[in-house]
Amino acid sequence: MEITGKLLSRRGNVVTIELAEPEKLVELDKFGSSVVSLLFTDGRSVSPKQRKFARAIMRDIANAAIGGSDADYEQRIYDRFKSDMSTYYGIEDFSMSDSKGNMSDTNVLINMLLEFCLMHNVPLSRRPLDHLDDPAIARYEYACLINKRCVICGIKADHHHITGSKVGMGNDRTKINHRGRRLIALCRQHHDLFHHEEKERMAEYHLQGVPVDEKIAQIYHLNYW
């Protein structure tokens, strides 16, 4: 059962909500449980920056013609990803218009587009780190690591241990436990740069590194126990 309302206040993990239909509360008695979930609607309109970036990625996919002649038109690509958003995320009737769209849903679209490009090696006309906000950057970092693509420039990459997760001298990389160690995907050029300017570049691009999970460990043949 869904009951809509307005968030009035938040103090730590305690929130106060004014219900739009308080009479529906009597229905909760039938469930025999006091556990509820909250689904917040993003009231922020799609930003021009988001819209332009999403359109640019779709043009890049169209130019690459991944999937044949049916995938060489921007609108067809848009319609396909809108359908996938409905199927995998439950986002119905997605829109990037000022009146109907919101930032969170548009970030989902952008993330899906970028992950498709990484998977199919689609050249991008714009560098993602210049156009993503912090939550989206974290997901992009993970996608780059999974697909072995440099998080800075997008070309073929390997993993880099960031400060605090580096493997010290005398340690065998094939034997140490990598669970929780943080990695980022970097090409040779950016790998060398990060060895000298890691702190500055991490701050510049708002990178945090990705904690090694079982999937990443398998891809890079790292011990994980």
What are residue 158's DSSP bridge partners?
186
- Over residues 77-94, the mean pLDDT reads 94
Q: What is the pTM of this model?
A: 0.78
Q: Kindly list the domain boundaries of the chain, sorted by start residue.
A: 1-40, 44-126, 144-225
Would you say residue 42 has pLDDT above 60? yes
Residue 156 makes CB contacts below 8 A (sequence gap 6+) with 148, 149, 150, 187
Choose among 151, 142, 214: nearest CA to 180: 214
DSSP E strands, the chain: 5-11, 14-19, 158-161, 182-186, 210-211
Q: For residue 80, give the amino acid letter.
A: R
Task: Pick the more confident residue, 84 or 174.
Answer: 84
Q: What pLDDT, in 10s, does the model give residues 96-120?
A: 998 899 999 999 999 999 999 999 9
Residue 45 makes CB contacts below 8 A (sequence gap 6+) with 98, 101, 102, 103
Q: What pLDDT, in 10s, does the model give residues 135-193?
A: 899 999 999 999 999 999 999 999 988 865 565 544 555 567 888 889 999 999 999 99
Question: In whole numbers, what is the pLDDT of the chain averaged over residues?
Answer: 85
